[in-house]
């Protein structure tokens, strides 16, 4: 990592300090793989920006007290907000050390357009910020269950709304007069896992989330990785079946992995997807519970449905490993029973379709969501934006960042 770009070097240092252990500059080369010179310049820049502080240890004997570095929790506050699938806004206020200071949930009334939804979220954020017992807000980050251009902060598609590019970040920033970034939920989940969870030790990994749909996100060299247009990888819409019998997907195509392996794909038909509303998610939950129960009772059709889900997921992961060599794939499943009934066919499809040497070099981890992934992902998203901005003092009020 001695040739790491400044952003990567900065994030490497901050990740070590995030562990909460006493760390000195002399410790950092071994902990990060960066050269001593890079450590000196990087930590000096972080101290100057108020993101980290120096703390002298108590003197021992006649020697000079050791100086430790730590994240500057008093350096400001970031706000993370997530619009849930059921359309409420979960808002967390976090200090620069990643500690949650305050949280609240704001109801969001549905509107007919994405631009109208942006205005309603802006109003809810204004109210949440005005009532919060914290100040010094430096960044607001919003996560949506949508197709998002994270570079520009535009939302291009969200179920129940007309497909159109809407400058979500700019609309909200103009109202609340704070920098705003917008991401989708899979990138939020990947950040929660990278900063606080099972991917902390991996600078390169792919997260695949099996939920109402199959979604995904990637990290490369310790930073989120998007495509040239700013979009998160949509691995759920990689085709794992072809021909006239391929199952239709809610995206309008057929044969997508999401149509076979997601909860929605398992228990809904295309017409029901087309009428997607928040109440539809309750129907998915109810039907999925019945499917899992039937499989637990040994019902053949239920067992076959979940085996098929595993097979298509295995094909997807195999193609991804062959094409990308991600190093680690973290699969987030709806629950442990989904893993139990789908895993054998998943492993069989993975083994049959992956180049053997690449399979041996790839770590595959199955897991379920941790209960606090929302605020941890939101915290990581907002803090990441603060950390990676080179000079916040020069920014005009209301500037928006994707």
- pLDDT tens, position by position, 6-44: 677 888 888 888 776 778 888 899 888 889 899 999 898
Structure tokens at 258: 């999401």
Cross-strand bridge partners of residue 281:
none
Superfamily for domain range 201-368? ATPase, nucleotide binding domain (3.30.420.40)
Domain with CATH 3.30.420.40 in the chain: 75-190+373-394, 201-368
Cα 64 to its chain centre, rounded Å, is 43
**Residue 401 scores a pLDDT above 50:** no
More confident site: 240 or 147: 240
- Summarize pLDDT for 207-223 with one digit per residue, the tens: 999 999 999 999 988 88
Query: For a pLDDT cut of 90, what percent of the chain falls above it?
Result: 48
CA dihedral 309, 314, 317, 320 (to 10 degrees): -110
- Count of alpha carbons within 13 angstroms of residue 370, beta-carbon side: 17
Query: For a pLDDT cut of 70, what percent of the chain falls above it?
Result: 91
SS3 of residue 365 by DSSP: strand
**Residue 254 scores a pLDDT above 60:** yes
Give the pLDDT confidence score for residue 371 in this predicted structure. Answer: 82
CATH of domain 6-71: 1.10.10.10
- Summarize pLDDT for 76-99 with one digit per residue, the tens: 888 989 987 767 898 999 888 888
Pairing of strands 100-107, 88-95: antiparallel
First to last CA, the chain: 27
In this prediction, residue 368 has a pLDDT band, given cuts at 50, 70 and 90, of very high
Give the pLDDT confidence score for residue 193 in this predicted structure. Answer: 92
In this prediction, residue 391 has a pLDDT band, given cuts at 50, 70 and 90, of very low
Domain with CATH 1.10.10.10 in the chain: 6-71
Residues 176-202 as b or e (16 or more Cβ within 10 Å = b) = bebbbbbbbbbbbbbbbbbbbbbbeeb
More confident site: 158 or 382: 158
Give the pLDDT confidence score for residue 246 in this predicted structure. Answer: 95
Residues 101-134 as b or e (16 or more Cβ within 10 Å = b) = eebeebebeeeeebeebbbbbbbbbeebbeebee
The answer to which of 139-153, 240-254, 264-278, 333-347 has the lowest mean pLDDT is 264-278
Superfamily for domain range 75-190+373-394? ATPase, nucleotide binding domain (3.30.420.40)
Average pLDDT value for the chain:
86
- Summarize pLDDT for 290-324 with one digit per residue, the tens: 999 999 999 999 999 999 999 999 999 999 999 99
Give the pLDDT confidence score for residue 269 in this predicted structure. Answer: 84
The answer to which of 44-53, 175-184, 353-362, 385-394 has the lowest mean pLDDT is 385-394
**Residue 178 scores a pLDDT above 90:** yes
**Residue 235 scores a pLDDT above 70:** yes
Give the pLDDT confidence score for residue 208 in this predicted structure. Answer: 97
Task: Calculate the alpha carbon distances from 298 to 255, 301, 339 in Å.
Answer: 27, 9, 16
Give the pLDDT confidence score for residue 62 in this predicted structure. Answer: 62
The answer to which of 43-47, 57-61, 143-147 has the lowest mean pLDDT is 57-61
In this prediction, residue 231 has a pLDDT band, given cuts at 50, 70 and 90, of confident
């Amino acid at each position: 990592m001695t040739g790491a770009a400044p952003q990567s070097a900065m994030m490497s240092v901050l990740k070590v300090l995030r562990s909460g252990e006493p760390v000195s500059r002399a410790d950092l080369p071994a902990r990060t793989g960066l050269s001593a010179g890079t450590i000196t310049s990087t930590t000096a820049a972080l101290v100057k920006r108020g993101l980290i502080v120096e703390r002298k240890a108590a003197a021992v004997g006649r020697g000079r007290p050791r100086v430790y570095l730590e994240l500057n929790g008093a350096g400001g506050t970031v706000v993370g907000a997530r619009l849930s699938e059921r359309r409420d806004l979960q808002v967390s206020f976090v200090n620069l050390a990643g500690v949650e200071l305050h949280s609240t949930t704001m109801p969001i009334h549905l509107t007919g357009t994405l631009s109208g939804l942006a205005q309603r979220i802006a109003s809810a954020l204004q109210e949440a910020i005005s009532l919060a017992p914290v100040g010094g807000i430096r960044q607001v980050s919003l996560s949506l269950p949508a197709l998002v251009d994270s570079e520009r902060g535009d939302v291009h598609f969200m179920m129940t709304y007309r497909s159109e590019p809407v400058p979500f970040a700019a609309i909200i920033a103009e109202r609340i007069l704070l920098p705003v970034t917008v991401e989708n939920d899979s990138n939020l989940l990947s950040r929660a896992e990278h900063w606080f969870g099972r991917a902390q030790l991996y600078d390169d990994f792919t997260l695949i989330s099996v939920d109402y749909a199959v979604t995904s996100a990637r990290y490369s060299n310790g930073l989120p990785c998007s495509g040239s247009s700013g979009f998160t990888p949509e691995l759920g819409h990689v085709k794992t079946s072809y021909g006239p019998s391929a199952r239709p997907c809610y995206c309008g195509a057929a044969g997508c992995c999401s149509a076979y392996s997601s909860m929605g794909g398992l228990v809904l038909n295309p017409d029901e997807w087309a009428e997607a509303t928040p109440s539809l998610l309750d129907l998915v939950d109810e039907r999925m519970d019945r499917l899992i129960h039937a499989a637990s009772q040994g019902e053949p059709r239920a067992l076959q449905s979940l085996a098929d889900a595993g097979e298509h997921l295995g094909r997807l992961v195999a193609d991804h490993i062959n094409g990308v060599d991600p190093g680690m794939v973290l699969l987030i499943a709806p629950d442990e029973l989904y893993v139990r009934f789908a895993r054998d066919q998943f492993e069989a499809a993975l083994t049959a379709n992956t180049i053997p040497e690449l399979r041996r070099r790839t770590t595959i981890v199955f897991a379920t969501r941790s209960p606090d992934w929302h605020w941890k992902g939101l915290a990581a998203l907002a803090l990441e934006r603060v950390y990676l901005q080179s000079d916040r003092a020069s920014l005009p009020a209301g500037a928006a960042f994707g």
